[in-house]
């Protein structure tokens, strides 16, 4: 097993004129112009940046709201006098929490898609 690290760039060939004086700049073969890195600020117009929603945050918020809402809803139903006939209240609570969480995550995803479409509409104006 070798401990040598592979070279990060193409291997240098003796007599290769494409390498500049500092090694980072390369000459374009056809035009002879130097090509370098472009600054992001020169390319991107801040007025044209779209404010897209962060889907992960929407889904996590929906999941947390669903778990809390499901626990509260399940506890309220289990504390009523009519819930005495339930043989396994833990299963009932689990089903209520899972159902509520599924609904709220899907609803949060829907809200994220609507926010994304709204950001596209405002950008096209």
Unique residue bearing structure tokens 């073969």: 29
Distance between CA atoms of 50 and 110, rounded to whole angstroms? 19
Taking the domains of the chain in order of start, what are their residue ranges? Answer: 53-124
Quick check: 61 and 108 in contact, CB under 8 A?
yes
pLDDT tens digit sequence for 11-25: 555 555 555 555 545
Here the tokens at position 4 are 């040598």
The answer to whether the CB of 36 falls within 8 A of the CB of 23 is no
Is there a contact between 102 and 67 (Cβ–Cβ < 8 Å)?
no
Q: pLDDT for 34-52, tens place per residue?
A: 667 888 777 777 666 667 7
pLDDT in tens, 74-103: 999 888 887 777 778 889 899 999 999 999
Close Cβ partners of 27 (under 8 Å, ≥ 6 residues apart): 17, 18, 20, 33, 34, 35
């Amino acid at each position: 097993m070798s401990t040598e690290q592979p070279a990060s760039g193409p291997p240098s060939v003796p007599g290769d004129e494409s390498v500049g004086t500092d090694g980072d700049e390369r000459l374009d073969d056809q035009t002879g112009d130097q090509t370098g890195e472009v600054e992001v600020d020169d390319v991107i117009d801040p007025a044209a940046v779209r404010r897209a929603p962060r889907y992960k945050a929407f889904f996590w918020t929906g999941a947390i709201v669903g778990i809390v809402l499901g626990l509260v809803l399940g506890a309220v139903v289990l504390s009523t006098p009519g819930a005495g006939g339930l043989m396994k209240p833990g299963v009932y609570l689990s089903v209520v929490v899972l159902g509520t969480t599924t609904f709220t995550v899907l609803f949060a995803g829907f809200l994220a898609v609507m926010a994304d479409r709204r950001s596209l509409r405002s950008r096209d104006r």
